[in-house]
Structures are given as C-alpha cells and as structure tokens.
A and B are shown apart, each in its own frame.
Chain A
C-alpha cells in the first residue's frame, strides 16, 4: 500500500494546502481565514477546543464542503472541482463512526469498497478481512454493527478508511467515546499507518493524545490557526529557556522572584505555594535555588519541567488572549520577544483553565 506519487509531484509539494479559507454557517464563522499546510507522510494534528473549526477543515480538505473564500488544494487539486478524484484518495473516520447499524460489519465495508470503485468478489472479501484483521475486528464481520461497542465501531471505521488504500487519512476525534485502553490501541494503529508512507491529519481536543503522535501540531481556535510547527519547534518557541517547578512551605512572593537574576517569566502553578519559573538557561538553576533559600524560603520541591502539548496549548492561548500572538502566528515569540517577568497574565491563564475545566479539557485540573 504505497501512496500515489502525485503528492510529491512538482507544483504539489504538500498533500494539503489551505490559504485564507473562510466558511460561514449562517451567522457563524466556522473558518476565519485558515492557513494550513500538511506535509506528505507525516501525522499532522489539529488541536483545539470544540468549535475551533477542526471538523470543517477536514470537510474542506475532501471537498465535502466548499469554501466561501480562500483556496483549498488537496493533492494539488481543487476539491470543489475535482471532488471525486480527491475523495477517492482520502480515507475519513469521522467523530461518529458513521456506520450502518442494520448491516453487518462485512456489508458496511463492502458498501464502502464498492462506492470507492473496488468492486465485488472474492478478492474484495479477502481485502475486507485483511483490513478488519489489521484492526482486530475480523471476528465481528458477520455481526450487525448495531450491536457493536463504541470501540468496535471505531475499529471498523478505521478498517473502512484504509480499505481503498487512500493516500491521505483524515481522522476526526477518532478516540471519541473510547476507554483509555481502546484509545491507546487506536492511536497505536494510527501511528502504524504512517509507517507505510501515508499522510495523516488527525483532529483532537485531547492534548494528551496528540503527545508523542504528532509530527506537526496546528493549534486552532475560532476557525483560525494560532500556531503551527513540530512539537519540538513549538516547545522551543514558547519555552526558549529552562522551566523549573519550585515548591515551598509557604507562599512564594513574586516580588522576591523578580529580584533574582536569570528568571525570565513567573507562572503560577495550580497547586498552592508552587511556581513555574522560566529561566535563561539550565546553568541558572543552582543560582536561583541558592537565591530562594537566601530569601528565607524553605523549599519542598524543585523539578525540571519538560513542556507538554498541554502546556503549549495553554501558553498559546495565554499569549493569544494577551495579544502577543497576532497575524504573525507566534513568530514574534519565537524570537524571544513578549516574554518577561512582568508579563504574567495570571488572570488570562486562570480564565483559560476555568474554561478548560468547563469544557472537559484534559489537564484543566491538577499539576501542569
């Protein structure tokens, strides 16, 4: 199962390219000038809360919906014009598995095989069994999908998505409704799919599930892309120095911290008497600890922090709300601007966390 070479043909260096795409639903802007580039043979994760425009983006990519403004190119083709050709090369798993409950597993896959032009016959039956076996659902092919668990439905939908050997796989919240074990298994399967050269675009609002999976992360909000890059790039952009978590027996006075050389940014932690300190570099750590002790603090915890995608998301949101990410998509931050000890938008961070808690955003509670 090798992807079509067209994806890498001259003039079409990216599998997907969206430029200034706008889409309205009634009075609501679902996409508000979205720019997006999906490189070939990589996993691109669209990260954002509900209503960020992730699903609409997938629908734009396949041509299921047309843009009201902007340009969409998939495999170098305009899906509004060459929709059939584009969709034939895409495999989609939507948030709801979109299976026919009255049909059995085999019939669901056979329907898809026929619609995608594979035809019928023994060779297709064999292909269906192979695809189902890949996702561990072959034992249930003769059972009605209506009796499937959510996990089984997701596995069947994944099997259906690869049946016609698409070049581009689009997964919209593929672990929605799954238990942690099943989610883990599904994510492993998605990771395996890029091993044979496929391009994957995955939407999720679950930060943890993008962690370790994404080759490229695009943080979206309100139909717009806030930042994009590899996890490493983004981490370096938002945490150019070292971050340490410091805990003390009593409250840590930010005024004291501001007097200590080497601390670039002070960020309160969700736990009381704890602070996250952004330092110039790792070499500053001993000096900072010494200074804290010298100021009479009885330290209970000192821990180097490796920022997660969750940290990234909240950092992006914080900077965005504070107006520090604008038209340049955070590039100003990449140069180290906009970060200093005085610019600690606590209120914004707290508000984000409150929103996150209300929307079920993972990591909205507990230590970050």
Chain B
C-alpha cells in the first residue's frame, strides 16, 4: 500500500535545541563509561598486556638504565651519556643536580630523557581501547541496544571517551608513581635525597598529557565510528597515533626542557585543540552508525 509521500517531520529545530550541552545527562555518561570499563576489567586479554606495557616503560627500562649508571658504574656508558647531556638546552643543563658524573647522568636521564614513557603508555593503551569502542558495539550487535536506549549520542560518545581515556591515564599515573619511587631510590642518594617528581613533571603529567590524550582519542573515536571493522579501526588509529605520539613527545620534551612556563603554555594550547577535537568528534556518533546501516554518511 503505497501512500502519498508525506514530508518528513519538521525535526530540525527541536534537534538543534536538543543538541545543546544543557540536555546532556552526565549520569548516563558515567553509566556508559562505567559499563565499558567494567568490560575491560573483565577481559584479561586486555589488561594483562596493558600492565605489561606499563611495567616495561615505567619499571623495567628505567630500573635497568638507572642501575647501570648509578650502581654498576660503567665508565664508558656514563661518559657517553655525559656527552649526550651537552646537547640539552642551557636551561635544562642548569637544572641538572648531582655531584658525580654518575649522579648528573642519572638525574638527567630520569628527569629529561625518559619523558616519552609518559606519552607512549597512555596513548598506546587508550588508542587500543578507543579504536574498537564504537565499531566494536556495531560488530557485537550491542550497538542495537544502545541505539534503542534513551541515551543521547553525545552521552554515548563521552562515556566511551572516558572509558578509553581513564585506563590509559590511570595506568600512566600508577606507573608514574612507581617510576618516581624507582628514580628516588636509585638516583636520590646521588643527588642528595628524594627529588622526583620535579615541578615540570607534575605539569607534564597533570596538565600536558591529558589534553594530548583527549585530542588523540577524539580522532580515534571518530575513526571508530566510521570504519567497518575493528581491524580497520586499529590500522587507522595506528596511523593517527604515531604522529600524535611524535607531536606529544616533542611538546612534552619542550615542556620539560624549557622554562617553567613553557609546560603551562603547551598545556593551554593542547587543551584548546582537545576541546575543538572533542566537540567535532561528538558528531561522529550517530544511531545509524551504532546500527551499522549504510546511511551515506
């Protein structure tokens, strides 16, 4: 029975009003995030590699390097590292503490040269989660459940963003604690006591890393909403993450090496970019994408 075509309901205006932040239910954002994180916790296949990755970067590599310098006292290694320190910016060189070459080398290594770990770990973990988060719902068929639920697309997006961000960042903070302990235990005696984290590291961890993480995830989640499979999402996310790691690394290194205000400025810029990225990324999640229908978008 083909009825005469009736124009679609005039929904544009109400939709525009509904798209505002005021209508967002943060309670539902939290519910989506909590459920996603609970699923991650239940999945050993996910968190075991995550713990392993954190252990390598925050525990094993620093311990081996710092032990080599401070305890084994390999003269050649220390000599080479000392020469490397000469390429550091003047501002950074002036900050280096310690009396002996071993102490100075270990200090520089701990404070300046291991900065990548603060970037690589959270970006790797969060990207791995974020890449599959939306396309995964579609593949498992659970996107249908979400699409029929009262949750708004933005709430689903933000919930998934938080669920992707928190594990990576929490691992990084935990690893940062372990790393601080190791640095203080191994390098502290060489420089006159516990010194880590320095002010620059606090800025890096609490002010610079989160926006870079959010910015990267805003791109990764958009990809996750658009691609057809988790495998494709992982591939695409990898391509995005590598330059993001490079940028984040260079900026975070700059934050550590530069003047005390440089970290704050880099953080402000990163936050601004992250907010733009997130607000644009929010449009990527639609019910048709959760359902996996070809909507020509």
* A19 CA to B3 CA, complexed, in Å: 7
How many A residues have CB within 8 A of the partner chain?
57
**Is B26 an interface position by the 8 A CB rule?**
no
A312 within 8 A of B: no
Residue of A nearest to B40 (CB): A102
The answer, yes or no, to whether B80 is at the interface (CB within 8 Å) is: no
Give per-residue flags for B20-38: 1 if the beta carbon is below 8 A from chain A beta carbons, else 0: 0000000010011001001
Contact at B9–A72, with CB atoms within 8 Å?
yes
Query: Judging by beta carbons under 8 Å apart, are B42 and A111 in contact?
Result: no
Q: Is there an interface contact between B147 and A96, defined as CB atoms closer than 8 Å? A: no
Judge if A22 is at the interface, Cβ distance under 8 Å.
yes
Query: In the complex, A115→B6 CA distance in Å?
Result: 33
Cα A149 to Cα B143 with chains together (Å): 21
Contacts of B296 in A (CB 8 A): 25-26
Contacts of B43 in A (CB 8 A): 102
A26-B294 in contact (CB<8A): yes
Complex CA distance for A111 and B294, rounded to whole angstroms: 28
Residues of A67-109 at the interface with B, using a CB-CB cut-off of 8 Å, are 67-72, 78, 80-81, 83-85, 87-88, 90, 92, 94, 96-103, 107
* Cross-chain contact B5 with A71 (CB below 8 angstroms): no
C-alpha spacing A127/B191, complex, angstroms? 62
In the complex, what residues of B have CB within 8 A of residue A117's CB?
Answer: 150
Decide yes or no whether A338 CB sits under 8 A from chain B. Answer: no
Residue of A88, A94, A144, A329 near B144 (CB, 8 A) is A94
Does chain B have a CB within 8 A of A214?
A: no
Chain B residues with CB under 8 Å of A69's CB are 5-8
Asked whether A324 is an interface residue with its Cβ less than 8 Å from the other chain, the reply is no
Judge whether B31 and A115 touch: CB under 8 Å: yes
- Closest residue of A by beta carbon distance from B288: A65
Partner of A62 from B140, B142, B148 at Cβ < 8 Å: B148
For the complex, is B90 an interface residue (Cβ under 8 Å from A)?
no
Are A64 and B287 in contact (CB-based, < 8 A)?
yes
- Asked if B6 contacts A70 (CB within 8 A), the reply is yes
Task: List chain B residues, Cβ under 8 A from A25.
Answer: 293-296
A111 touching B2, Cβ below 8 Å: no
Q: Is the CB of A66 within 8 A of B8?
A: yes
Q: Once the chains bind, are A99 and B148 in contact (CB under 8 Å)?
A: no
By the criterion CB–CB under 8 Å, are A87 and B6 in contact?
no
A307 CB within 8 Å of chain B: no
User: Which residue from B5, B11, B150, B288 sits with its C-beta under 8 Å from A116?
Assistant: B150
The interface residues of chain A lying within 8 Å CB-to-CB of B2 are 20, 32-33, 224, 327
CB distance from A334 to the nearest CB of B (A): 13
Across-interface contacts of A83 in B (CB, < 8 A) = 150
CA distance A226 to B2 in the complex (A): 9
B39 at the interface (CB under 8 A from A): yes
B71 at the interface (CB under 8 A from A): no
Q: How far is the CA of A230 from the CA of B142 in the complex (A)?
A: 34
Partner of B148, one of A64, A97, A228: A64
Is there a chain A Cβ closer than 8 Å to B291's Cβ? yes
| Residue A368 CB within 8 A of the other chain | no
A182 and B142 alpha carbons, distance in the complex (Å): 22
* Interface members, chain A 281-337 (any B CB < 8 Å): 327-329
The answer to whether A35 has its CB under 8 Å from any CB of chain B is yes
Cα distance, A98 to B140, chains bound together (Å): 7
> How long is the Cα–Cα vector from A92 to B147 in the complex, in angstroms?
10
Contact B142 A65 (CB under 8 A): no
A-B pairs with lowest CB-CB distance, top 5: A20-B3, A96-B141, A329-B1, A98-B145, A33-B2
Q: Can you list 6 A-B pairs with a CB-CB distance of less than 8 A?
A: A22-B5, A62-B147, A80-B15, A87-B148, A102-B39, A103-B38
Q: A residues bordering B, Cβ < 8 Å?
A: 19-20, 22, 25-26, 28, 32-33, 35, 59, 62-72, 78, 80-81, 83-85, 87-88, 90, 92, 94, 96-103, 107, 111-112, 114-117, 144, 170, 224-228, 327-329
Contacts A25-B294, A26-B294, A35-B3 known; list 7 others, CB within 8 Å. Answer: A33-B5, A70-B3, A70-B5, A70-B6, A98-B141, A227-B1, A327-B1
